[in-house]
Chain A
Amino acid sequence: MSTDTAAAHRAVEAVWRIESARIIAGLARLVADVGLAEELAQDALVAALEQWPAQGMPANPGAWLMLTGRHRAIDRIRRDERLAGKLALLGRDLAAAQPAAPAEFDAVLDEDKIDDDLLRLMFVACHPVLPVEGRIALTLRLLGGLTTEEIARGFLAAEPAIAKRIVRAKRTLADRQVPFEVPPAADRPARLASVLEVIYLVFNEGYSAMAGDDWMRPALCGEALRLGRVLAGLMPAEPEVHGLAALMEIQASRIPARLSPEGLPVPLPEQNRGRWDQLLIRRGFTALLRAEQLARPPGPYVLQAAIAACHARARAAADTDWRQIAALYAALGACSPSPVVELNRAVAVAMADGPEQGLRIIDALAGEPVLAGYHHLPSVRGDLLARLGRHPEAAGEFRRAAELTRNIPERTVLLRRAAECDARS
Protein backbone atom coordinates (compact mmCIF):
# COMPACT_ATOMS: atom_id res chain seq x y z
CA MET A 1 0.00 0.00 0.00
CA SER A 2 1.44 3.40 -0.95
CA THR A 3 1.74 6.05 1.75
CA ASP A 4 -0.99 8.07 0.03
CA THR A 5 -3.40 5.15 0.11
CA ALA A 6 -2.51 4.46 3.73
CA ALA A 7 -3.20 8.10 4.62
CA ALA A 8 -6.50 7.98 2.72
CA HIS A 9 -7.47 4.83 4.61
CA ARG A 10 -6.66 6.47 7.91
CA ALA A 11 -8.88 9.40 6.95
CA VAL A 12 -11.75 7.01 6.16
CA GLU A 13 -11.21 5.21 9.44
CA ALA A 14 -11.32 8.51 11.33
CA VAL A 15 -14.73 9.24 9.79
CA TRP A 16 -15.77 5.72 10.76
CA ARG A 17 -14.72 6.29 14.35
CA ILE A 18 -16.73 9.47 14.52
CA GLU A 19 -19.84 8.10 12.80
CA SER A 20 -19.98 4.33 13.33
CA ALA A 21 -22.12 4.25 16.48
CA ARG A 22 -24.75 6.50 14.91
CA ILE A 23 -24.76 4.51 11.69
CA ILE A 24 -25.08 1.17 13.46
CA ALA A 25 -27.82 2.62 15.65
CA GLY A 26 -29.74 3.99 12.68
CA LEU A 27 -29.46 0.72 10.78
CA ALA A 28 -30.46 -1.29 13.85
CA ARG A 29 -33.74 0.62 13.93
CA LEU A 30 -34.28 -0.39 10.30
CA VAL A 31 -33.45 -4.10 10.55
CA ALA A 32 -34.30 -4.65 14.23
CA ASP A 33 -31.07 -6.61 14.73
CA VAL A 34 -27.93 -5.10 16.20
CA GLY A 35 -25.60 -7.75 14.82
CA LEU A 36 -26.94 -7.41 11.29
CA ALA A 37 -26.83 -3.61 11.60
CA GLU A 38 -23.13 -3.80 12.44
CA GLU A 39 -22.46 -6.06 9.45
CA LEU A 40 -24.27 -3.64 7.14
CA ALA A 41 -22.37 -0.71 8.59
CA GLN A 42 -19.13 -2.62 8.03
CA ASP A 43 -20.17 -3.14 4.39
CA ALA A 44 -20.60 0.61 4.09
CA LEU A 45 -17.14 1.11 5.56
CA VAL A 46 -15.64 -1.32 3.04
CA ALA A 47 -17.37 0.59 0.23
CA ALA A 48 -15.96 3.84 1.58
CA LEU A 49 -12.46 2.38 1.76
CA GLU A 50 -12.81 1.36 -1.90
CA GLN A 51 -14.33 4.55 -3.22
CA TRP A 52 -13.20 7.55 -1.19
CA PRO A 53 -9.44 7.28 -1.73
CA ALA A 54 -10.01 7.31 -5.51
CA GLN A 55 -13.02 9.62 -5.79
CA GLY A 56 -12.37 11.91 -2.85
CA MET A 57 -14.28 12.25 0.38
CA PRO A 58 -18.01 13.02 -0.05
CA ALA A 59 -19.31 16.35 1.20
CA ASN A 60 -21.18 14.71 4.06
CA PRO A 61 -19.32 11.49 4.85
CA GLY A 62 -21.64 10.49 7.70
CA ALA A 63 -24.73 10.69 5.51
CA TRP A 64 -22.90 8.85 2.72
CA LEU A 65 -22.11 5.95 5.06
CA MET A 66 -25.63 5.89 6.41
CA LEU A 67 -27.22 5.89 2.95
CA THR A 68 -24.87 3.17 1.71
CA GLY A 69 -25.70 1.10 4.78
CA ARG A 70 -29.39 1.64 4.15
CA HIS A 71 -29.11 0.50 0.56
CA ARG A 72 -27.34 -2.64 1.72
CA ALA A 73 -30.07 -3.16 4.30
CA ILE A 74 -32.79 -2.89 1.68
CA ASP A 75 -30.95 -5.32 -0.61
CA ARG A 76 -30.69 -7.71 2.30
CA ILE A 77 -34.37 -7.41 3.21
CA ARG A 78 -35.32 -8.09 -0.45
CA ARG A 79 -33.16 -11.19 -0.59
CA ASP A 80 -34.00 -12.56 2.82
CA GLU A 81 -37.66 -13.48 3.18
CA ARG A 82 -37.29 -14.44 6.80
CA LEU A 83 -35.94 -11.01 7.66
CA ALA A 84 -38.66 -9.31 5.59
CA GLY A 85 -41.27 -11.35 7.42
CA LYS A 86 -39.83 -10.43 10.79
CA LEU A 87 -39.79 -6.74 9.92
CA ALA A 88 -43.35 -6.94 8.60
CA LEU A 89 -44.35 -8.37 11.97
CA LEU A 90 -42.74 -5.33 13.58
CA GLY A 91 -44.85 -3.14 11.32
CA ARG A 92 -41.98 -2.01 9.13
CA ASP A 93 -41.97 -2.26 5.37
CA LEU A 94 -39.57 -1.53 2.61
CA ALA A 95 -41.28 1.69 1.63
CA ALA A 96 -40.46 3.10 5.03
CA ALA A 97 -36.86 1.99 4.69
CA GLN A 98 -36.38 3.30 1.17
CA PRO A 99 -34.97 6.81 1.05
CA ALA A 100 -37.06 8.01 -1.88
CA ALA A 101 -36.84 11.77 -2.20
CA PRO A 102 -33.77 13.99 -1.79
CA ALA A 103 -35.39 15.42 1.34
CA GLU A 104 -34.95 11.98 2.84
CA PHE A 105 -31.21 12.46 2.46
CA ASP A 106 -31.23 15.04 5.24
CA ALA A 107 -33.62 13.01 7.31
CA VAL A 108 -31.06 10.20 7.24
CA LEU A 109 -29.08 12.10 9.81
CA ASP A 110 -32.04 13.50 11.70
CA GLU A 111 -30.41 14.34 15.02
CA ASP A 112 -33.29 13.55 17.35
CA LYS A 113 -33.98 10.19 15.79
CA ILE A 114 -30.30 9.30 15.80
CA ASP A 115 -30.04 10.26 19.47
CA ASP A 116 -32.92 7.94 20.29
CA ASP A 117 -31.31 5.17 18.27
CA LEU A 118 -27.97 5.71 19.98
CA LEU A 119 -29.59 5.39 23.37
CA ARG A 120 -31.38 2.20 22.30
CA LEU A 121 -28.08 0.82 21.09
CA MET A 122 -26.47 1.49 24.47
CA PHE A 123 -29.24 -0.27 26.33
CA VAL A 124 -29.18 -3.26 24.00
CA ALA A 125 -25.38 -3.64 24.08
CA CYS A 126 -25.55 -3.65 27.89
CA HIS A 127 -28.56 -5.97 28.06
CA PRO A 128 -28.62 -8.26 31.11
CA VAL A 129 -29.16 -11.38 28.93
CA LEU A 130 -25.45 -10.99 28.08
CA PRO A 131 -22.61 -11.86 30.42
CA VAL A 132 -20.83 -8.76 31.69
CA GLU A 133 -17.73 -9.32 29.55
CA GLY A 134 -20.00 -9.70 26.51
CA ARG A 135 -21.66 -6.37 27.33
CA ILE A 136 -18.27 -4.68 27.61
CA ALA A 137 -16.91 -6.06 24.33
CA LEU A 138 -20.12 -5.28 22.45
CA THR A 139 -20.32 -1.75 23.84
CA LEU A 140 -16.77 -0.97 22.80
CA ARG A 141 -17.37 -2.48 19.41
CA LEU A 142 -20.75 -0.92 18.62
CA LEU A 143 -20.53 2.38 20.47
CA GLY A 144 -16.80 3.00 20.68
CA GLY A 145 -16.08 1.87 17.11
CA LEU A 146 -13.13 -0.15 18.41
CA THR A 147 -11.80 -3.08 16.42
CA THR A 148 -11.69 -6.55 17.95
CA GLU A 149 -7.92 -6.28 18.04
CA GLU A 150 -8.04 -3.00 19.98
CA ILE A 151 -10.49 -4.43 22.51
CA ALA A 152 -8.24 -7.47 22.97
CA ARG A 153 -5.18 -5.28 23.54
CA GLY A 154 -7.11 -3.11 25.97
CA PHE A 155 -8.15 -6.07 28.09
CA LEU A 156 -4.91 -8.08 27.74
CA ALA A 157 -6.95 -10.81 26.06
CA ALA A 158 -6.42 -12.89 22.93
CA GLU A 159 -8.09 -11.51 19.81
CA PRO A 160 -9.99 -14.74 18.93
CA ALA A 161 -11.41 -14.83 22.46
CA ILE A 162 -12.80 -11.30 22.10
CA ALA A 163 -14.10 -12.08 18.59
CA LYS A 164 -15.92 -15.10 19.99
CA ARG A 165 -17.34 -13.01 22.81
CA ILE A 166 -18.75 -10.47 20.35
CA VAL A 167 -20.21 -13.10 18.01
CA ARG A 168 -21.81 -14.90 20.92
CA ALA A 169 -23.25 -11.69 22.34
CA LYS A 170 -24.81 -10.75 18.99
CA ARG A 171 -26.23 -14.23 18.61
CA THR A 172 -27.72 -14.15 22.11
CA LEU A 173 -29.42 -10.84 21.39
CA ALA A 174 -30.90 -12.27 18.18
CA ASP A 175 -31.89 -15.63 19.72
CA ARG A 176 -33.52 -14.01 22.70
CA GLN A 177 -35.22 -11.51 20.39
CA VAL A 178 -34.10 -8.56 22.49
CA PRO A 179 -36.08 -5.62 21.09
CA PHE A 180 -34.21 -2.57 19.84
CA GLU A 181 -35.74 -0.18 22.33
CA VAL A 182 -35.19 1.92 25.40
CA PRO A 183 -36.51 -0.26 28.23
CA PRO A 184 -39.99 0.51 29.60
CA ALA A 185 -40.09 2.69 32.70
CA ALA A 186 -40.41 -0.22 35.12
CA ASP A 187 -37.17 -1.84 33.91
CA ARG A 188 -35.28 1.35 33.32
CA PRO A 189 -33.48 1.81 36.66
CA ALA A 190 -31.99 -1.70 36.57
CA ARG A 191 -31.16 -1.48 32.86
CA LEU A 192 -29.56 1.95 33.29
CA ALA A 193 -27.50 0.56 36.17
CA SER A 194 -26.13 -2.05 33.77
CA VAL A 195 -25.17 0.62 31.21
CA LEU A 196 -23.42 2.68 33.88
CA GLU A 197 -21.67 -0.40 35.24
CA VAL A 198 -20.31 -1.35 31.83
CA ILE A 199 -18.95 2.14 31.20
CA TYR A 200 -17.37 2.30 34.64
CA LEU A 201 -15.82 -1.17 34.24
CA VAL A 202 -14.20 0.00 31.00
CA PHE A 203 -12.92 3.09 32.77
CA ASN A 204 -11.47 1.08 35.65
CA GLU A 205 -9.77 -1.34 33.30
CA GLY A 206 -8.00 1.62 31.73
CA TYR A 207 -7.31 3.22 35.09
CA SER A 208 -5.55 0.09 36.34
CA ALA A 209 -3.08 0.23 33.45
CA MET A 210 0.54 0.22 34.55
CA ALA A 211 3.62 1.88 33.16
CA GLY A 212 4.80 0.00 30.07
CA ASP A 213 1.36 -1.42 29.26
CA ASP A 214 0.06 -1.27 25.71
CA TRP A 215 -1.23 2.28 25.07
CA MET A 216 -4.65 0.82 24.30
CA ARG A 217 -5.14 0.13 28.02
CA PRO A 218 -5.06 3.71 29.30
CA ALA A 219 -6.97 4.67 26.15
CA LEU A 220 -9.93 2.74 27.61
CA CYS A 221 -10.30 5.58 30.13
CA GLY A 222 -10.80 7.94 27.23
CA GLU A 223 -13.36 5.62 25.64
CA ALA A 224 -15.32 5.35 28.87
CA LEU A 225 -15.17 9.10 29.44
CA ARG A 226 -16.50 9.73 25.95
CA LEU A 227 -19.32 7.18 26.38
CA GLY A 228 -20.19 8.75 29.73
CA ARG A 229 -20.32 12.22 28.20
CA VAL A 230 -22.45 11.00 25.30
CA LEU A 231 -24.83 9.25 27.67
CA ALA A 232 -25.12 12.42 29.77
CA GLY A 233 -26.25 14.23 26.62
CA LEU A 234 -28.77 11.49 25.82
CA MET A 235 -30.26 11.18 29.32
CA PRO A 236 -29.89 14.65 30.85
CA ALA A 237 -32.63 14.04 33.42
CA GLU A 238 -30.86 11.10 35.10
CA PRO A 239 -28.67 12.25 38.01
CA GLU A 240 -26.69 9.00 38.12
CA VAL A 241 -25.62 9.49 34.50
CA HIS A 242 -24.12 12.87 35.38
CA GLY A 243 -22.74 11.30 38.57
CA LEU A 244 -20.82 8.69 36.60
CA ALA A 245 -19.55 11.32 34.15
CA ALA A 246 -18.42 13.49 37.07
CA LEU A 247 -16.73 10.56 38.80
CA MET A 248 -14.78 9.61 35.68
CA GLU A 249 -13.79 13.20 34.84
CA ILE A 250 -12.43 13.76 38.33
CA GLN A 251 -10.66 10.42 38.54
CA ALA A 252 -9.17 10.95 35.08
CA SER A 253 -7.85 14.33 36.26
CA ARG A 254 -5.44 12.43 38.52
CA ILE A 255 -3.99 10.21 35.80
CA PRO A 256 -0.90 12.41 35.32
CA ALA A 257 -0.09 12.18 39.05
CA ARG A 258 -0.95 8.64 39.98
CA LEU A 259 2.32 6.92 39.02
CA SER A 260 5.78 7.79 40.31
CA PRO A 261 8.62 8.27 37.81
CA GLU A 262 9.62 4.64 38.55
CA GLY A 263 6.09 3.50 37.62
CA LEU A 264 4.85 2.81 41.16
CA PRO A 265 1.33 3.81 42.22
CA VAL A 266 1.26 7.01 44.28
CA PRO A 267 -1.48 7.09 46.95
CA LEU A 268 -3.89 9.98 46.67
CA PRO A 269 -2.63 11.99 49.67
CA GLU A 270 0.92 11.88 48.32
CA GLN A 271 0.09 12.83 44.74
CA ASN A 272 1.44 16.08 43.34
CA ARG A 273 -1.81 18.01 43.04
CA GLY A 274 -0.18 20.48 40.71
CA ARG A 275 -0.30 17.74 38.10
CA TRP A 276 -4.01 17.11 38.44
CA ASP A 277 -5.78 18.18 35.29
CA GLN A 278 -7.83 21.21 36.31
CA LEU A 279 -9.79 21.16 33.06
CA LEU A 280 -11.16 17.69 33.81
CA ILE A 281 -11.78 18.61 37.44
CA ARG A 282 -13.87 21.56 36.34
CA ARG A 283 -15.81 19.37 33.92
CA GLY A 284 -16.38 16.92 36.77
CA PHE A 285 -17.67 19.67 39.06
CA THR A 286 -20.04 20.86 36.33
CA ALA A 287 -21.40 17.34 35.82
CA LEU A 288 -21.82 16.86 39.57
CA LEU A 289 -23.64 20.16 39.83
CA ARG A 290 -25.99 19.05 37.07
CA ALA A 291 -26.74 15.87 39.00
CA GLU A 292 -27.38 17.82 42.20
CA GLN A 293 -29.65 20.30 40.43
CA LEU A 294 -31.97 17.44 39.54
CA ALA A 295 -32.67 17.32 43.27
CA ARG A 296 -33.22 13.61 43.65
CA PRO A 297 -31.81 11.42 46.43
CA PRO A 298 -28.17 10.79 45.46
CA GLY A 299 -27.32 7.36 44.07
CA PRO A 300 -23.99 5.54 44.28
CA TYR A 301 -22.30 7.34 41.36
CA VAL A 302 -23.31 10.79 42.53
CA LEU A 303 -22.00 9.97 46.01
CA GLN A 304 -18.72 8.60 44.69
CA ALA A 305 -18.36 11.67 42.50
CA ALA A 306 -19.04 13.88 45.52
CA ILE A 307 -16.25 12.06 47.38
CA ALA A 308 -13.89 12.49 44.43
CA ALA A 309 -14.86 16.17 44.36
CA CYS A 310 -13.90 16.57 48.04
CA HIS A 311 -10.39 15.41 47.17
CA ALA A 312 -10.27 17.58 44.07
CA ARG A 313 -11.27 20.67 46.04
CA ALA A 314 -8.43 20.27 48.56
CA ARG A 315 -5.43 22.27 47.36
CA ALA A 316 -3.19 20.20 49.68
CA ALA A 317 -3.83 16.76 51.18
CA ALA A 318 -3.98 18.37 54.64
CA ASP A 319 -6.92 20.54 53.52
CA THR A 320 -9.09 17.49 52.76
CA ASP A 321 -12.53 17.61 54.39
CA TRP A 322 -12.40 14.08 55.80
CA ARG A 323 -15.48 14.55 57.94
CA GLN A 324 -17.51 15.29 54.80
CA ILE A 325 -15.95 12.30 53.05
CA ALA A 326 -16.80 10.03 56.00
CA ALA A 327 -20.39 11.27 55.86
CA LEU A 328 -20.55 10.62 52.12
CA TYR A 329 -19.21 7.08 52.59
CA ALA A 330 -21.86 6.52 55.26
CA ALA A 331 -24.52 7.64 52.76
CA LEU A 332 -22.96 5.43 50.08
CA GLY A 333 -23.01 2.47 52.48
CA ALA A 334 -26.67 3.17 53.20
CA CYS A 335 -27.69 3.12 49.53
CA SER A 336 -25.38 0.33 48.38
CA PRO A 337 -24.04 -1.53 51.43
CA SER A 338 -20.63 -3.12 50.92
CA PRO A 339 -17.69 -3.99 53.17
CA VAL A 340 -15.41 -2.18 50.70
CA VAL A 341 -17.36 1.03 51.20
CA GLU A 342 -17.20 0.47 54.96
CA LEU A 343 -13.43 0.05 54.69
CA ASN A 344 -13.20 3.34 52.86
CA ARG A 345 -15.36 4.97 55.49
CA ALA A 346 -12.93 3.66 58.11
CA VAL A 347 -10.08 5.45 56.32
CA ALA A 348 -12.02 8.71 56.24
CA VAL A 349 -13.07 8.40 59.89
CA ALA A 350 -9.47 7.68 60.87
CA MET A 351 -8.40 10.87 59.10
CA ALA A 352 -11.19 12.92 60.67
CA ASP A 353 -11.29 11.50 64.21
CA GLY A 354 -8.02 9.64 64.66
CA PRO A 355 -6.70 6.16 63.83
CA GLU A 356 -8.37 4.44 66.84
CA GLN A 357 -11.84 5.34 65.53
CA GLY A 358 -10.95 3.98 62.09
CA LEU A 359 -9.46 0.83 63.54
CA ARG A 360 -12.66 0.18 65.44
CA ILE A 361 -14.65 0.10 62.17
CA ILE A 362 -12.03 -2.09 60.47
CA ASP A 363 -11.93 -4.62 63.29
CA ALA A 364 -15.69 -5.00 62.96
CA LEU A 365 -15.03 -5.98 59.32
CA ALA A 366 -12.48 -8.69 60.21
CA GLY A 367 -14.82 -11.63 59.59
CA GLU A 368 -16.24 -10.34 56.28
CA PRO A 369 -15.88 -13.15 53.73
CA VAL A 370 -15.97 -10.61 50.88
CA LEU A 371 -12.78 -9.02 52.21
CA ALA A 372 -10.97 -12.31 52.93
CA GLY A 373 -8.54 -12.02 50.04
CA TYR A 374 -8.74 -8.23 49.70
CA HIS A 375 -5.31 -6.72 50.17
CA HIS A 376 -6.64 -3.25 50.98
CA LEU A 377 -7.96 -4.49 54.33
CA PRO A 378 -4.56 -5.42 55.82
CA SER A 379 -2.97 -2.51 53.99
CA VAL A 380 -5.32 0.06 55.57
CA ARG A 381 -5.06 -1.68 58.93
CA GLY A 382 -1.27 -1.57 58.69
CA ASP A 383 -1.42 2.12 57.93
CA LEU A 384 -3.56 2.89 60.97
CA LEU A 385 -1.43 0.70 63.26
CA ALA A 386 1.70 2.47 62.04
CA ARG A 387 0.12 5.82 62.83
CA LEU A 388 -0.60 4.55 66.34
CA GLY A 389 3.06 3.61 66.70
CA ARG A 390 2.26 -0.13 66.72
CA HIS A 391 5.02 -0.83 64.19
CA PRO A 392 5.56 -4.61 64.59
CA GLU A 393 1.83 -5.28 64.06
CA ALA A 394 1.78 -2.82 61.17
CA ALA A 395 4.71 -4.57 59.47
CA GLY A 396 2.81 -7.88 59.68
CA GLU A 397 -0.27 -6.34 58.06
CA PHE A 398 1.74 -4.81 55.22
CA ARG A 399 3.37 -8.19 54.53
CA ARG A 400 -0.02 -9.90 54.51
CA ALA A 401 -1.32 -7.27 52.07
CA ALA A 402 1.78 -7.76 49.87
CA GLU A 403 1.05 -11.50 49.71
CA LEU A 404 -2.55 -10.86 48.68
CA THR A 405 -1.99 -8.39 45.86
CA ARG A 406 -1.15 -9.55 42.36
CA ASN A 407 -0.16 -6.07 41.29
CA ILE A 408 3.63 -6.06 41.36
CA PRO A 409 4.23 -2.31 41.74
CA GLU A 410 1.72 -2.28 44.58
CA ARG A 411 3.49 -5.19 46.23
CA THR A 412 6.78 -3.30 46.03
CA VAL A 413 5.24 -0.33 47.83
CA LEU A 414 3.73 -2.57 50.56
CA LEU A 415 6.97 -4.44 51.21
CA ARG A 416 8.78 -1.11 51.39
CA ARG A 417 6.35 0.05 54.07
CA ALA A 418 6.76 -3.22 55.98
CA ALA A 419 10.53 -2.68 55.99
CA GLU A 420 10.07 0.89 57.26
CA CYS A 421 7.95 -0.43 60.14
CA ASP A 422 10.57 -3.08 60.93
CA ALA A 423 13.18 -0.37 61.15
CA ARG A 424 11.07 1.60 63.64
CA SER A 425 10.07 -1.44 65.75
Chain B
Amino acid sequence: MRFLMTVNGGGRPPDEQLYAEMGRFVEELSRAGVLLATGGLDQGTHVTATGGHITLTDGPFTESKEVIVSFALIDVRSREEAVELARRFWKIVGDGEGDIRQVFGPEG
Protein backbone atom coordinates (compact mmCIF):
# COMPACT_ATOMS: atom_id res chain seq x y z
CA MET B 1 0.00 0.00 0.00
CA ARG B 2 1.14 3.46 -0.75
CA PHE B 3 0.73 6.35 1.60
CA LEU B 4 1.43 10.00 1.11
CA MET B 5 2.80 11.58 4.25
CA THR B 6 2.76 15.35 4.22
CA VAL B 7 4.07 18.08 6.44
CA ASN B 8 1.60 20.92 6.52
CA GLY B 9 3.73 23.52 8.20
CA GLY B 10 5.42 23.59 11.59
CA GLY B 11 8.54 21.77 12.58
CA ARG B 12 11.58 23.31 14.19
CA PRO B 13 13.69 25.63 12.06
CA PRO B 14 16.08 23.44 10.11
CA ASP B 15 19.65 23.34 11.38
CA GLU B 16 22.55 21.07 10.67
CA GLN B 17 21.46 18.53 13.25
CA LEU B 18 17.97 18.28 11.74
CA TYR B 19 19.42 17.85 8.26
CA ALA B 20 21.71 15.10 9.53
CA GLU B 21 18.99 13.25 11.43
CA MET B 22 16.54 13.60 8.57
CA GLY B 23 19.17 12.46 6.10
CA ARG B 24 19.72 9.35 8.17
CA PHE B 25 16.00 8.68 8.45
CA VAL B 26 15.46 9.11 4.71
CA GLU B 27 18.39 6.83 3.95
CA GLU B 28 17.09 4.19 6.34
CA LEU B 29 13.66 4.25 4.68
CA SER B 30 15.17 4.05 1.21
CA ARG B 31 17.32 1.12 2.16
CA ALA B 32 14.34 -0.65 3.72
CA GLY B 33 12.62 -0.37 0.33
CA VAL B 34 9.90 1.79 1.86
CA LEU B 35 10.52 5.28 0.51
CA LEU B 36 9.44 5.73 -3.11
CA ALA B 37 9.74 9.48 -3.46
CA THR B 38 10.17 12.52 -1.27
CA GLY B 39 10.63 16.23 -1.70
CA GLY B 40 10.01 19.73 -0.46
CA LEU B 41 7.45 22.04 -2.05
CA ASP B 42 7.45 25.76 -2.75
CA GLN B 43 4.63 28.15 -1.81
CA GLY B 44 2.96 27.31 -5.06
CA THR B 45 0.02 28.59 -7.02
CA HIS B 46 -3.52 27.97 -5.89
CA VAL B 47 -5.94 26.87 -8.59
CA THR B 48 -9.70 27.38 -8.42
CA ALA B 49 -11.91 25.96 -11.15
CA THR B 50 -15.47 27.24 -11.32
CA GLY B 51 -17.76 26.47 -14.21
CA GLY B 52 -14.87 25.97 -16.60
CA HIS B 53 -13.16 29.15 -15.44
CA ILE B 54 -9.72 28.76 -13.85
CA THR B 55 -8.43 31.26 -11.30
CA LEU B 56 -4.80 31.18 -10.25
CA THR B 57 -3.52 32.75 -7.04
CA ASP B 58 0.17 32.81 -6.21
CA GLY B 59 1.37 32.04 -2.68
CA PRO B 60 2.31 32.65 0.07
CA PHE B 61 -1.07 32.03 1.65
CA THR B 62 -2.31 33.27 4.98
CA GLU B 63 -3.73 29.90 6.09
CA SER B 64 -0.22 28.55 5.95
CA LYS B 65 -0.83 25.46 8.05
CA GLU B 66 -3.03 24.10 5.28
CA VAL B 67 -0.20 24.36 2.81
CA ILE B 68 1.86 21.25 2.25
CA VAL B 69 5.56 22.02 2.54
CA SER B 70 7.01 18.58 2.01
CA PHE B 71 5.91 15.04 1.26
CA ALA B 72 7.05 11.44 1.31
CA LEU B 73 5.48 8.68 -0.76
CA ILE B 74 5.98 5.39 1.02
CA ASP B 75 5.27 1.74 0.24
CA VAL B 76 4.26 -0.22 3.36
CA ARG B 77 2.10 -3.18 4.30
CA SER B 78 -0.47 -1.52 6.52
CA ARG B 79 -1.78 1.83 7.74
CA GLU B 80 -0.26 1.03 11.13
CA GLU B 81 3.19 0.80 9.56
CA ALA B 82 2.67 4.19 7.95
CA VAL B 83 1.60 5.63 11.31
CA GLU B 84 4.67 4.14 13.01
CA LEU B 85 6.95 5.72 10.42
CA ALA B 86 5.15 9.05 10.84
CA ARG B 87 5.75 8.77 14.59
CA ARG B 88 9.48 8.39 13.94
CA PHE B 89 9.46 11.25 11.47
CA TRP B 90 7.79 13.67 13.87
CA LYS B 91 10.12 12.68 16.67
CA ILE B 92 12.90 14.10 14.53
CA VAL B 93 11.05 17.18 13.30
CA GLY B 94 9.41 18.32 16.53
CA ASP B 95 6.14 20.26 16.73
CA GLY B 96 4.03 20.66 13.64
CA GLU B 97 1.29 18.95 11.72
CA GLY B 98 0.78 16.80 8.71
CA ASP B 99 -1.35 14.07 7.15
CA ILE B 100 -1.07 10.38 6.37
CA ARG B 101 -3.23 9.44 3.41
CA GLN B 102 -3.47 6.21 1.48
CA VAL B 103 -2.84 6.55 -2.25
CA PHE B 104 -5.15 4.49 -4.47
CA GLY B 105 -3.90 3.30 -7.86
CA PRO B 106 -2.05 2.91 -10.13
CA GLU B 107 -0.91 -0.15 -8.21
CA GLY B 108 -2.81 -3.28 -9.29
Cβ of B107: which chain A residues have Cβ within 8 Å of it? 255-256, 277
**A219–B108 alpha-carbon span in the complex (Å):** 10
For chain B, residues 28 to 51, give those with C-beta under 8 angstroms from any C-beta of chain A.
28, 30-34, 36-37
Cβ of B32: which chain A residues have Cβ within 8 Å of it? 18, 226, 229-230
Chain A: minimal CB distance from B103 (Å):
10
Cβ of B34: which chain A residues have Cβ within 8 Å of it? 226
Which of the residues A14, A227, A258, A279 comes within 8 Å of B84, measured between beta carbons?
A14
Q: Are B36 and A279 in contact (CB under 8 A)?
A: yes
Quick one: given A255-B107, A277-B107, are A11 and B83 in contact (CB under 8 Å)? yes
Which of the residues B78, B87, B108 comes within 8 Å of A17, measured between beta carbons?
B78
Cβ of B77: which chain A residues have Cβ within 8 Å of it? 17, 219, 222
Quick one: given A228-B33, A230-B32, A255-B108, are A222 and B80 in contact (CB under 8 Å)? no
Q: Are A11 and B33 in contact (CB under 8 A)?
A: no
Q: Is A188 an interface residue (CB 8 A)?
A: no
Q: Are B106 and A256 in contact (CB under 8 A)?
A: yes
Which of the residues A61, A228, A279 comes within 8 Å of B37, measured between beta carbons?
A279
Interface flags for B67-107 (1: CB within 8 Å of A; 0: not) read 00000010101101101110100010000000000000111
Residue of B nearest to A234 (CB): B31
Q: Are A14 and B105 in contact (CB under 8 A)?
A: no
Cβ of A111: which chain B residues have Cβ within 8 Å of it? 28
Specify which of B73, B81, B91, B106 lies most central, judged by the most chain A CB atoms within 10 Å of its CB. B106
Residue of B nearest to A259 (CB): B108
Which of the residues A13, A59, A228 comes within 8 Å of B80, measured between beta carbons?
A13
Q: Are A222 and B75 in contact (CB under 8 A)?
A: yes
Q: Is A86 an interface residue (CB 8 A)?
A: no
Chain B interface: which size bin? 20 to 34
Q: Is A233 an interface residue (CB 8 A)?
A: yes
Chain B: minimal CB distance from A16 (Å):
10
Residue of B nearest to A258 (CB): B108
Number of interface residues of A (CB under 8 A): 30
Residue of A nearest to B34 (CB): A226
For chain A, residues 233 to 261, give those with C-beta under 8 angstroms from any C-beta of chain B.
233, 255-256, 258-259
Cβ of B84: which chain A residues have Cβ within 8 Å of it? 11, 14-15, 18, 61
Q: Is A376 an interface residue (CB 8 A)?
A: no
Cβ of A11: which chain B residues have Cβ within 8 Å of it? 80, 83-84
**A10–B76 alpha-carbon span in the complex (Å):** 14
Q: Are B30 and A233 in contact (CB under 8 A)?
A: yes
Q: Are A14 and B78 in contact (CB under 8 A)?
A: yes
Cβ of A57: which chain B residues have Cβ within 8 Å of it? 87
Which of the residues B33, B73, B80, B106 comes within 8 Å of A226, measured between beta carbons?
B33
**A324–B88 alpha-carbon span in the complex (Å):** 46
Specify which of B28, B30, B77, B85 lies most central, judged by the most chain A CB atoms within 10 Å of its CB. B77
Cβ of B30: which chain A residues have Cβ within 8 Å of it? 233
Q: Is A323 an interface residue (CB 8 A)?
A: no
**A255–B2 alpha-carbon span in the complex (Å):** 15
Which of the residues B31, B78, B81 comes within 8 Å of A233, measured between beta carbons?
B31
Cβ of B105: which chain A residues have Cβ within 8 Å of it? 256
Q: Are B33 and A230 in contact (CB under 8 A)?
A: yes
Residue of A nearest to B2 (CB): A279
**A226–B81 alpha-carbon span in the complex (Å):** 14
For chain A, residues 273 to 325, give those with C-beta under 8 angstroms from any C-beta of chain B.
275-277, 279, 283
Chain B: minimal CB distance from A160 (Å):
24
Q: Are A14 and B81 in contact (CB under 8 A)?
A: yes
Cβ of A255: which chain B residues have Cβ within 8 Å of it? 107-108
Quick one: given A275-B106, A277-B106, are A10 and B33 in contact (CB under 8 Å)? no
Residue of A nearest to B84 (CB): A14
Cβ of B33: which chain A residues have Cβ within 8 Å of it? 225-230, 233
**A125–B83 alpha-carbon span in the complex (Å):** 30
Interface residues of A (CB under 8 A from B): 10-11, 13-15, 17-18, 57, 59, 61, 111, 218-219, 222, 225-230, 233, 255-256, 258-259, 275-277, 279, 283
21 contacts between A and B (CB under 8 A): A14-B80, A14-B81, A15-B84, A17-B77, A17-B81, A61-B84, A111-B28, A218-B108, A222-B75, A222-B77, A228-B33, A229-B31, A229-B33, A230-B32, A255-B108, A256-B105, A256-B107, A258-B108, A275-B106, A279-B37, A279-B73
Query: Which 6 residue pairs spanning A and B have beta carbons closest together?
Result: A229-B33, A255-B108, A14-B80, A233-B31, A226-B33, A14-B81
| 9 further A-B pairs in the complex, CB-CB below 8 A; given A14-B80, A256-B107 | A14-B78, A14-B81, A18-B81, A18-B84, A219-B77, A225-B75, A229-B31, A276-B106, A279-B36
